[in-house]
Structure 1
Amino acid sequence: VAPLLDKIKREAPKFDLDVDTPGNGYRSFVIIFEALFKRCSSLCDLVKSQRSQVVFNLYKYSYIQDLKSWNEMIVSLNTFLEHLNTLLEWNEKDRVRCLFPSEAHSSQELLDKARTIESYSFYRRHAAFQYCSSIESVLKGLLTIMAGYSDYYFSTSPHLWRVAKSLFMSTQYTLDAEHRARRIVHASQYATVDFCKSFWFLAESDLMKKVPDRICPAIRVNQLILIPPEPLQIDSTKCKPVNIPAPSAHGPIAPVQVRLLSAKGRPGMPGQNDYSEATVSDSLIIHCHGGGFVAQSSSSHETYLRHWAVALDVPILSIDYSLAPEYPFPRQLQEILFVYAWIQRNPSVAGTTAKKIIFAGDSAGANLMLGMTLWASDMNLRLPDGIFLAYVPLLVQFEPSPSRLLCLLDPLLPFGFMMRCLSAYAGQPDMLPSHSGGRYSEADGRVKEIVEQINTTTSQESTESKTKHNTVIDPEQLDRLKAHSPVDELDLFRVSSNPLMSPFLASDSALKKMPPISLLTIELDPCLDDSVEFAKRCRRLGCDIRLDILPGLPHGFLNFALLSREAKEGSKLCVKRIRELFK
């Protein structure tokens, strides 16, 4: 381990954005190793101090299991070091200093060597050890719930029996980390995207929806608004009218739902009047939630949005966009664009003049907000005054960067889940429907050209990818399966190089038009390298961009702001960065 790890330590700083912003996928693995060595050292010290005590024999078996678990992790992580060394060699050979290898090397080439990676160890006794202690306990609990939920989801028994068995098995998974690890790994590799959706939608249950009202700050306005699917017309920056039809890709025309959150009632807001407690705001935040493009809603993100609404004292309009795989790309972008056009025509509904608009999003929602901004720029529409993006996937492809390898040991974003969520969003090629008044249009025809480009470059997902993991299996059969190679997932993953889907691929000229961007990510995020390389590129182009990299937190940490002090502090930093964008 030592020689390879020392080499990674020497080379890692060369891939940072700058000396004040240390962070990249190479550093992430160094951090994981240091955390592991620290825990092993603490265990050895504990064993040494208790060997002479009478109670030592009572805990000896537990200590042996702990040491065995750490040893298995070291073996697996050593394999990662070998792959990181391969990436470094590719960089040296190509004479580039980029976290993403050149086109001469493929993810298939790297993952062919990753067949020997054993994933079970990262979901056993010491799962989530790489995170801060408050998050570690939360993630272990979620892994146990996920394993227990799989017994409910895959069972064909009557509902009450499924519930009872799920609860019983959850207690078993708490006691038997080996069984839990096997269930999690196999579920992530063999379950369909529907399992991901179903599990993540537990946060949308009636019980969970009551949590913000009991724990989060009280806000005066929390109102769902349905925007009617009627064509809109707004002026471009060239003072030419642009027709924005109702969203129609991959499904029927339907209203778009948004949630308005505001700490204070303001004139024009639903249920408010001219005698509201506050004056009309000049600012507005348009927000898109995360959830892998396939799950969650504005409701499940209230846990931090309410804090933002109070701390910033600005109305927040959070968009409940349509979810994949039922509605793949570009339906979501159409809906966000439609909402953006509608609020410019009707700002008073949000209690604002909309003189300043900030886009904000986390994870998949952040990807959508940046993609929509690129689209709005191509249409010569008014751009937001700033964009805040939290742990954003900027490349909806599996590129073999160091941080991408983290998803092979990530408790919340396992490789199989990530691949199927991205594939679901990429969808099938499908021309946008042509209907009366349904074309995006501008006098020079530019918008029509853009939409045609989206139509022709929308990615393809093979029939094989839709069926390979779609076999209904019972929980016992799931346990008997063998973990397969990451290459098997990659074989089924084909997406286009559309910059509206993967903003990292946007042209230099498009990026130069972007408003100030604030990126916030974490050291252990599989999408970390996306943000680092994107920030480097924007810096070279002279764009106004800022990058923050937080330690000890997982992808999606904003949803844990009520459970972790570190996550709450991260949410406060988000508020600070958004406030700076308004200035």
Structure 2
Amino acid sequence: MSRRDPLLPVWSHALPGWLDPQREEQPQEIPDTPAASLLALKARSGGSGPQVDATTLPAAEGRALVARRARVWNTDLPPMQRCEYVLPPARANAAPCRVVVLTPDSPAPGATLMIPGGGFAFGAPETDEHAGRSLAQAAGMSVVLPDYRKAPEHPFPAGLLDVASVCVTLAKQPETIGCTAGPVLVGGDSAGANLAIATLLLERQIPAAGLLLYYGMFAPGQQRASHLRFADYPGFTAGKLQRYTEWYLPDPARRSDPLAAPLHASDTALTTLPPVHILAAELDPLLSDSLALWRRLLALGHSVRLDVAQGMPHGFLQMSQHLQDARQALTLCGHVARDFASGL
């Protein structure tokens, strides 16, 4: 990847100066200034007044509200050679999990399972489709978006079991989903990143070529520097984070289970993971989750790459239709996915 490639974000070339690999950041050390491009996008859209918090509504109403809001980010979809809804067979303890298969022109063999986030409660293939298509184009391979069971109706480990079932099928019987045999990558954003790493901790026999973790939640219920720094940040507050945790993990005793909180996984378990790409957002309550996981993997000598999207908020990849930084970030993610798939 060229340092001067205009398709890549400028922050992909080096880690931010405030970040110390040897120690955890303090709240006051984390910048809180939005990127100029983000401010310009808000100005073009006319800004927004107070919005109803979807986590304060009954789950079905909240899901419908999130889906309506996501439509603005999911128009003018990048063209695909194939966009198909598929219902793979479900394994024991999993529910039938609808997936959307996005295949670009002239795809390479294999596929990326990209798990939508939404606090384990709201994400769906439709809310992530523009980003998924953009990643498919950038990676040059099929992207599979699963529609797993959601909390609070289906708390941990229901969604994880659904995603793991799809992942095993994709690895062992890709033709049943409409994908070709080849390298399998596993990834997700936010809660989807949690489910991605948990899937590979649960199903260690899956020969994944890479793990793609975008601004993930890796220690539900913990308080770290970024949780304090951005507790009241617009769009994703500490209150929302707490409600997501209570929905997905209503039993506090399960919040330290490594399959729910991958930062609690043993060193031995973490070393079984394939090469990892962590993409963090600087203006994000979950920033410190990503940095803590990065430091653990570094200490283990594991193959891990970290990129910090400077001046970007949680969920910014969903803005790819209207935000150049998000498009550039997805191009970067696609390049990394290609490298993982080719074994580089």
Contact map agreement 1:16 1:532 (CA 8 A) in 2: no
Equivalent of residue 191 in structure 1, options 56, 60, 66? 56
* 1:550 maps to amino acid: A
CA distance in 2, matches of 1:339, 1:288: 11
After the TM superposition, which of the residue ranges 298-307 and 503-512 deviates more from structure 2?
298-307
Q: Does 1:257 align with 2:257?
A: no
CA distance in 2, matches of 1:500, 1:397: 14
CA distance in 2, matches of 1:200, 1:216: 19
Residue equivalent to 1:216: 77
Q: Does 1:144 align with 2:148?
A: no
How many aligned positions are there? 325
Equivalent of residue 307 in structure 2, options 548, 552, 555? 548
Deviations 1:34-81 (A, max 9, x none): xxxxxxxxxxxxxxxxxxxxxxxxxxxxxxxxxxxxxxxxxxxxxxxx
Query: Scaled by the length of structure 1, what TM-score is found?
Result: 0.52
Equivalent of residue 37 in structure 2, options 134, 147, 157? 134
Indicate how the Cα distance of structure 1 residues 28 and 303 shifts in structure 2: closer, same or farther if over 3 A, else same: farther
Residue equivalent to 1:565: 324
CA distance in 1, matches of 2:341, 2:131: 19
Indicate how the Cα distance of structure 1 residues 16 and 259 shifts in structure 2: closer, same or farther if over 3 A, else same: same
CA distance in 2, matches of 1:547, 1:359: 16
Seq. identity, %: 26
CA distance in 2, matches of 1:553, 1:390: 12
CA distance in 2, matches of 1:338, 1:543: 26
Residue equivalent to 1:16: 20
Residue equivalent to 1:532: 291
Q: Does 1:394 align with 2:245?
A: no
CA distance in 1, matches of 2:341, 2:161: 26
Deviations 1:398-435 (A, max 9, x none): 32x211113323111112111101110113xxxxxxxx
Q: Map residues 265-304 of structure 1 onto 2, 5 A cutoff.
A: 281-304=108-131
Residue equivalent to 1:417: 240
CA distance in 2, matches of 1:287, 1:14: 30
Deviations 1:267-322 (A, max 9, x none): xxxxxxxxxxx58x432111101111110211111111111222222111111111
Equivalent of residue 329 in structure 1, options 132, 139, 156? 156
CA distance in 2, matches of 1:217, 1:425: 33
Indicate the structure whose relative CO is greater, using CA pairs within 8 Å and at least 6 residues apart. Answer: 2
CA distance in 2, matches of 1:14, 1:261: 38
Equivalent of residue 506 in structure 1, options 249, 265, 277? 265
CA distance in 2, matches of 1:215, 1:14: 37
CA distance in 1, matches of 2:134, 2:263: 30
CA distance in 2, matches of 1:368, 1:142: 35
Structure 1 residue 351: deviation in Å? 4.8
Indicate how the Cα distance of structure 1 residues 146 and 257 shifts in structure 2: closer, same or farther if over 3 A, else same: farther
Q: Aligned to 1:553, what secondary structure does the other structure show?
A: strand
* 1:393 maps to amino acid: M
Residue equivalent to 1:368: 195
Q: Which has the larger radius of gyration?
A: 1
Structure 1 residue 387: deviation in Å? 0.2
CA distance in 2, matches of 1:13, 1:307: 29
Structure 1 residue 145: deviation in Å? 5.7
Q: Does 1:580 align with 2:339?
A: yes
Task: Return 5+ residue gaps in structure 1 as ranges.
Answer: 1-11, 33-129, 151-186, 232-244, 248-253, 265-277, 428-458, 461-493
Indicate how the Cα distance of structure 1 residues 193 and 500 shifts in structure 2: closer, same or farther if over 3 A, else same: farther
Q: Map residues 489-500 of structure 1 onto 2, 5 A cutoff.
A: 496-500=255-259
* 2:88 maps to amino acid: I
Structure 1 residue 513: deviation in Å? 1.2
Query: Scaled by the length of structure 2, what TM-score is found?
Result: 0.85
CA distance in 1, matches of 2:134, 2:292: 31
CA distance in 1, matches of 2:311, 2:68: 25
Structure 1 residue 515: deviation in Å? 0.9
* 2:247 maps to amino acid: A
Contact map agreement 2:140 2:338 (CA 8 A) in 1: no
Indicate how the Cα distance of structure 1 residues 353 and 263 shifts in structure 2: closer, same or farther if over 3 A, else same: closer
Indicate how the Cα distance of structure 1 residues 418 and 196 shifts in structure 2: closer, same or farther if over 3 A, else same: farther
CA distance in 2, matches of 1:554, 1:288: 19
Deviations 1:473-496 (A, max 9, x none): xxxxxxxxxxxxxxxxxxxxx753
Contact map agreement 2:214 2:278 (CA 8 A) in 1: yes
Q: Aligned to 2:273, what secondary structure does the other structure show?
A: coil
Contact map agreement 1:23 1:549 (CA 8 A) in 2: no
Indicate how the Cα distance of structure 1 residues 367 and 25 shifts in structure 2: closer, same or farther if over 3 A, else same: farther
Q: Aligned to 2:144, what secondary structure does the other structure show?
A: strand
Task: Return 5+ residue gaps in structure 2 as ranges.
Answer: 1-15
Residue equivalent to 1:403: 226
CA distance in 1, matches of 2:150, 2:254: 18
* 2:65 maps to amino acid: F
Structure 1 residue 500: deviation in Å? 0.3
* 1:199 maps to amino acid: L
Q: Aligned-pair RMSD on alpha carbons?
A: 2.8
Contact map agreement 1:521 1:548 (CA 8 A) in 2: yes
As a proportion of its length, which structure holds more helix?
Answer: 1
